[in-house]
Amino acid sequence: MNPMAIGATPNEIVWKNLKIKKTQRTLRRILTRTIITLMIIFWAIPVAVVGAISNINYLENIVPFLNFINDIPTVILGVVTGLLPSVALSILMSLVPVFCRWMARVSGEVTTPNVELKTQNWYMAFQVVQVFLITTFSSGAASVVSSIINDPSSATDLLAQNLPKASNFYISYFIVQGLGVAAGTLLNIGALVVLTLVAKFLDKSPRKMFKRYMKLAGLGWGSLYPKIGNMCIIAITYSIIAPLVLGFATVGFFFIYLAVRYNTFFVLTNNVDTKGRAYTLGIQQLMTGVYLGEVCLIGLFAINTAPGPIVLMVVFLVFTALYHAAMRHALKPLTNHLPDNLDGDDHVSMFSTADHKTYDAEKTGVPPTEAPTVQPKKFSATKASFFDRIFDPRKFKSYQRVRSVVPQWAPPQYDARDEEFAYFNPAITSQVPNLWIVRDEMGISQREVRESSAVIPITDELARFDEKNKVVWDQANPLAAPIYEKRIDY
């Protein structure tokens, strides 16, 4: 057997993927990566069209049927070229994480955290290529294509002057993402529509109503981090080319932070626990913005034939790559495991003295039972200045100090049966489901309960028909529902 996951809790296991053989899993990974790569490449066509719309007024000189743009009012044209591409791109991108998450399961990942991490990798690549690069190239090229056709020799100068015009699209994009997404996240319009409209047509049984009422939506780290991370990459890349983007990015990030923070605390649940790996992966992915920014500067200097700055930026690019490789090499062992010097720190004081020296009763002449108790040294830190906390935090932070501010909950207690069958397939250990039917005034449901209870668990409690002949259940006391199951926290 080849161990694929260590330390996974039972509710994180994708049971149907455990039976996949090694050869089949390898073929699945190759196939899914090929599909995702092809999707990233060929998705460029609709995204390029969206990017061209943001500068559609520059194309009217070469495309005859676009002359009607001159007759459009300025306000409407501003909405079409500014907000419409951003909204269309957001809707287009919303379909991608669902497909990436499904492909991650098809690839053979055996735990839901690994599914989220693979989704995060794929979706981040998709965001960077489609939302950023393709849109930048289409917007920047579209704005100068007419001039290049008229005078091909001026292509380099025109691109150098007009490439930052693509930042207009991202200024609108940050506004839409910052204001629109933050407002939509707080309003949670999707869940509102599902609970008020979709549930009325789909939920016809008390079981479906109960599950929809009790189940909280998850955060979805694999789709959350790439959306925010791509905005960071865009801001980092354009920080030199078009610094004005940074101001709009700051405002957008502020509103998104408030919305995500509120939902994380009060609305959504952490249904997939990556144990911090999604965060570390998201931080590492931000280096993409540094690389793209340096490459863009090299291109701009090359267009303007500036050999000195080109050489300097190439040196910076090489040093950035070396630093990134060294950082990844140093942090990779700590991504999944704590360092060895932290192992058992909570119990060190029970077996050693404060000065880490052995106790010799013959030399001291005092039996060990009568020896004075030596108090272990406590962690103390000097007050850190602002710059010290940013550039050298290890002097003022430690594992013990972090543990002191993290709540120390008591270990969960399990029933004997839950502890024994925790890592068994639910298809083996699941109990016979309790059939929950609706009680009627004619007594048909009660007769059905009497006749079928000898064969299958069945009840008609806490569910009835209202005056409009609609199925309702007692939402005031959900814990008393016949199908309620206590959640097991591993």
Residue 192, pLDDT above cutoff 50: yes
Distance CA 95, CA 16 (A): 25
Place of tokens 């929950």: 436
> In the chain, what percentage of residues exceed pLDDT 90?
23
Residue 163, pLDDT above cutoff 60: no
Give how far the C-alpha of residue 25 lies from the chain's centroid of Cα atoms, to the nearest Å.
25
Quote the number of domains for the chain: 2
Tens-digit pLDDT profile for residues 389-408: 666 666 556 667 777 777 77
Tens-digit pLDDT profile for residues 247-259: 989 988 999 999 9
Pair 26, 158 in one domain: yes
Pair 447, 323 in one domain: no
Pair 321, 449 in one domain: no
Residue 125 or 77, more confident: 125
Task: Enter the pTM of the model.
Answer: 0.76
- For residues 204 and 281, the answer to whether their CB atoms sit within 8 Å is no
- For residues 436 and 483, the answer to whether their CB atoms sit within 8 Å is yes
Which structural domain range is residue 455 located in? 431-490
> In the chain, what percentage of residues exceed pLDDT 70?
75
Residue 367 or 229, more confident: 229
Distance CA 266, CA 217 (A): 11
Within-domain flag for 455: yes
* Phi–psi pair at 410, nearest 5 degrees: -70, 145
**Per mean pLDDT, which range of 156-160, 279-283, 429-433 is the poorest?**
156-160
**Per mean pLDDT, which range of 170-174, 210-214, 227-231 is the poorest?**
170-174
Give pLDDT, residue 138.
Answer: 62
Would you say how long the chain is, in residues? 490
Cα dihedral value 119, 273, 262, 122, nearest 10:
-10
pLDDT band at 278 (very low <50, low <70, confident <90, very high): very high
Pair 76, 175 in one domain: yes
- For residues 405 and 453, the answer to whether their CB atoms sit within 8 Å is no
Residue 306 region by backbone torsions, left for phi larger than 0, else alpha for psi between -120 and 50, else beta: beta
pLDDT band at 339 (very low <50, low <70, confident <90, very high): low
- For residues 157 and 303, the answer to whether their CB atoms sit within 8 Å is yes
Report which secondary-structure segment, H or E, holds 472. strand 471-473
Within-domain flag for 402: no
Within-domain flag for 167: yes
3-state secondary structure of 349: helix
Residue 25 or 402, more confident: 25
Q: Considering only CA atoms, which of 225, 15, 218 is closest in space to residue 109?
A: 15
Give pLDDT, residue 121.
Answer: 95
Give pLDDT, residue 428.
Answer: 87
Within-domain flag for 393: no
Residue 66, pLDDT above cutoff 70: no
Tokens of 47: 């995204």
Pair 328, 456 in one domain: no
Pair 142, 266 in one domain: yes
The residue type of 359 is Y
Residue 293, pLDDT above cutoff 60: yes
Q: Hey, which of 186-190, 192-196, 206-210, 409-413 has the most confident mean pLDDT?
A: 206-210
What is the full DSSP assignment across 424-465? S-HHHHPPPPPEE--B-TTSHHHHHHHHHTTTS-EE-TTEEE
- For residues 286 and 229, the answer to whether their CB atoms sit within 8 Å is yes
Domain boundary among 310, 340, 370: 340
pLDDT band at 364 (very low <50, low <70, confident <90, very high): low
Residue 262, pLDDT above cutoff 70: yes
Residue 482 or 81, more confident: 482
Domain boundary among 299, 322, 340: 340
Give pLDDT, residue 336.
Answer: 75
pLDDT, mean over the chain: 79
Residue 326, pLDDT above cutoff 90: yes
Residue 105 or 186, more confident: 105
Within-domain flag for 368: no
Cα separations in angstroms, 166 against 135, 148, 403, 439? 8, 17, 46, 63
Give pLDDT, residue 487.
Answer: 82
Could you give the residue ranges of the DSSP H alpha helices within 94-134? Answer: 96-106, 112-126
Distance CA 289, CA 382 (A): 35
For 264-340, list the strands marked E by DSSP.
none
pLDDT band at 367 (very low <50, low <70, confident <90, very high): low
pLDDT band at 26 (very low <50, low <70, confident <90, very high): very high
Within-domain flag for 380: no
Place of tokens 């408030």: 258
Pair 325, 435 in one domain: no
Tokens of 28: 């699945």
pLDDT band at 356 (very low <50, low <70, confident <90, very high): very low
> What count of other Cβ atoms lies within 10 Å of the Cβ of residue 166?
24
Residue 31, pLDDT above cutoff 70: yes
Domain boundary among 321, 340, 359: 340
pLDDT band at 366 (very low <50, low <70, confident <90, very high): low
Which residues touch 339 (CB under 8 Å, ≥6 apart)?
Answer: 333
Distance CA 120, CA 227 (A): 10
Give pLDDT, residue 120.
Answer: 96
Residue 106, pLDDT above cutoff 90: yes
Tokens of 78: 């501003």
Q: Summarize the confidence of residues 359-381 as an average pLDDT.
A: 53
> What count of other Cβ atoms lies within 10 Å of the Cβ of residue 133?
15
Q: What's the helix, strand, coil split of the chain in %, to 5?
A: 65, 5, 30
Within-domain flag for 395: no
State the angle between helix axes of 22-42 and 96-106 in degrees (0 to 180), rounded to the nearest 10: 160
